């Protein structure tokens, strides 16, 4: 089947690195990351305001976070299928409306009287998780299909690199205002972004597929009905595991690692996560240029993954003795896992147009879901191995799978995306 390429449209604003689709996708991911991390930042003060004890804050907070992660897993499948059946733009609009309403609703949790406020909080974070699952995959898919293949890596890196600074803004919004205001700001940013999205056009590749009535689109089960496709899908997920090991274990539990390392100053996990995301944003911006220079997605990701591994080993075993050095290592590890955009792009490029949005949306959310497994294994190993070695075992598993996946997955640099999965 002949599908028109975009080569003749390179001068069009829609195919520019700074065209509206790239700008709107980047700002969408900015708001997405702001809202995704907001509960983790306001967990303690918000639950304390609800009258919970320190023990309840720990258990109830973990439960609410799991509800959010459950929403991400479900939403990843939901929005991925919608993206391939109804279009990339339908996800960009629908997802942001969903999580913006949910975040505004979270700001009213103190005023809830018709049900248990913590139950309401968990339900709203579940709805927010569903909405948050669609943003990155749909944005990366749209940008990948609109931009010429020569600009694809840099374009998707710009989307994620700019977007990830939402974590920094979330941290300082909470510091400057109260947690309720931070939720309202997140919702307001989302609705403001809807106005920008009005002028964004749908992917030409997707429009072409919709004209072919015999083509099955958005079939999530198709990843499991073909051995080669299933292996590629698993490898796409495997590539992302080291990213959430660094975020979900080394940064999130940095206070525990700080005590185990004998650091006198109390480590603030929120600050460690913020510095990790600063490094991640810089790494994401650099990854596209590294990929272009090496003419390889695989080489670029392997290089960055190796950087993350080296600094992870330093974090655990060199014997750091100050909070400043620990935060600096979070920044460095963040740069190493700054292949997040490249990883999602690889997921989009591995599959045909008829299931591309499903792949690009479900893959990162499957990786986010593995955080539950990582934290469970870490908690299980701590009593017998101690904190440092428990973290190292989880990291070893994550990096072995990550390196194997990126080294054995097909190269997609410069790949023509005008094709279908049979």
Top-confidence range, 13-22, 155-164, 299-308, 365-374: 299-308
Give yes or no: residues 175 and 243 share one domain.
no
| Residue 218 binned pLDDT confidence (cut-offs 50, 70, 90) | low
| Segment holding 21, helix H or strand E | helix 20-49
Is residue 138 over pLDDT 80?
no
pLDDT given for residue 340 in this prediction? 85
Give yes or no: residues 122 and 224 share one domain.
no
Nearest CA to 102 out of 126, 79, 74, 71 is that of 126
Q: For residues 189 and 165, what is the distance between their CA atoms, to the nearest angstrom?
A: 14
Give yes or no: residues 235 and 177 share one domain.
no
Note down the domain range covering 105: 15-193
In a domain? residue 381: yes
Q: What's the pTM?
A: 0.78
| Residue 245 binned pLDDT confidence (cut-offs 50, 70, 90) | very high
In a domain? residue 313: yes
Give yes or no: residues 276 and 189 share one domain.
no
Q: What is the pLDDT of residues 148-205, one digit of tens each?
A: 777 777 777 788 778 778 878 888 888 888 889 999 998 998 888 777 766 555 444 4
Give yes or no: residues 126 and 226 share one domain.
no
pLDDT given for residue 332 in this prediction? 96
Give yes or no: residues 34 and 141 share one domain.
yes
Nearest CA to 369 out of 241, 277, 279, 215 is that of 241
Give yes or no: residues 327 and 401 share one domain.
yes
Q: For residues 158 and 25, what is the distance between their CA atoms, to the nearest angstrom?
A: 9
DSSP state letter for 14: G
Give yes or no: residues 267 and 156 share one domain.
no
Give yes or no: residues 257 and 400 share one domain.
yes
Can you give the CATH number for the domain in which 301 is found? 1.20.1250.20
In a domain? residue 34: yes
Q: What is the mean pLDDT of the chain?
A: 82
Q: How far is CA 334 from CA 40, 276, 309, 415, in A?
A: 18, 4, 11, 28
In a domain? residue 50: yes
Give yes or no: residues 130 and 226 share one domain.
no
Q: Is the dihedral of CA 10, 11, 14, 15 positive or negative?
A: positive
Number of domains composing the chain:
2
| Residue that terminates a domain, selected from 147, 175, 193 | 193
């Amino acid at each position: 089947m002949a599908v028109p390429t975009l080569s003749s449209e390179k001068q069009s604003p829609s195919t520019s690195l700074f065209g509206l689709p790239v700008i709107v996708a980047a700002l969408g991911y900015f708001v997405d990351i702001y809202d995704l991390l907001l509960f983790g930042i306001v967990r303690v003060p918000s639950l304390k305001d609800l009258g919970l004890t320190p023990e309840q804050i720990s258990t109830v907070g973990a439960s609410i976070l799991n509800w959010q992660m459950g929403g991400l897993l479900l939403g990843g499948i939901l929005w991925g299928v919608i993206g391939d059946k109804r279009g990339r733009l339908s996800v960009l609009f629908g997802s942001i409306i969903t999580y913006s309403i949910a975040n505004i609703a979270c700001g009213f949790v103190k005023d809830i009287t018709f049900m248990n406020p913590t139950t309401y909080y968990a339900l709203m974070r579940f709805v927010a998780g569903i909405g948050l699952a669609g943003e990155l995959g749909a944005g990366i898919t749209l940008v990948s299909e609109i931009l010429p293949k020569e600009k694809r890596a840099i374009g998707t890196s710009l989307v994620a690199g700019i977007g990830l600074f939402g974590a920094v803004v979330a941290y300082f919004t909470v510091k400057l205002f109260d947690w309720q205001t931070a939720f309202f700001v997140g919702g307001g940013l989302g609705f403001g972004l809807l106005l920008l999205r009005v002028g964004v056009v749908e992917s030409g590749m997707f429009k072409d597929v919709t004209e072919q009535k015999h083509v099955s689109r958005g079939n999530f089960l198709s990843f499991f009905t073909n051995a080669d496709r299933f292996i590629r899908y698993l490898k796409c997920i495997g590539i992302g595991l080291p990213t959430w090991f660094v975020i979900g274990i080394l940064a999130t539990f940095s206070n525990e690692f700080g005590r185990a390392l004998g650091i006198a100053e109390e480590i603030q996990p929120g600050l460690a996560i913020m510095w990790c995301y600063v490094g991640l944003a810089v790494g994401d911006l650099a990854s596209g240029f590294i990929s272009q220079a090496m003419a390889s997605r695989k080489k670029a990701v392997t290089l960055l993954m190796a950087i993350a591994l080296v600094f992870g080993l330093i974090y655990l075993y060199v014997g750091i003795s100050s909070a400043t050095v620990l935060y600096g290592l979070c920044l460095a590890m963040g740069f190493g896992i700054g292949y997040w955009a490249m990883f999602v792009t690889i997921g989009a490029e591995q599959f045909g147009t008829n299931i591309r949005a499903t792949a690009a949306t479900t893959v990162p959310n499957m990786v986010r879901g593995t955080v539950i497994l990582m934290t469970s294994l870490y908690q299980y190993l701590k009593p017998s191995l101690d904190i440092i070695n428990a973290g190292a075992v989880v990291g070893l598993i994550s990096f072995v799978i990550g390196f194997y996946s990126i080294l054995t997955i097909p190269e997609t640099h410069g790949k023509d995306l005008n094709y279908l999965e049979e």
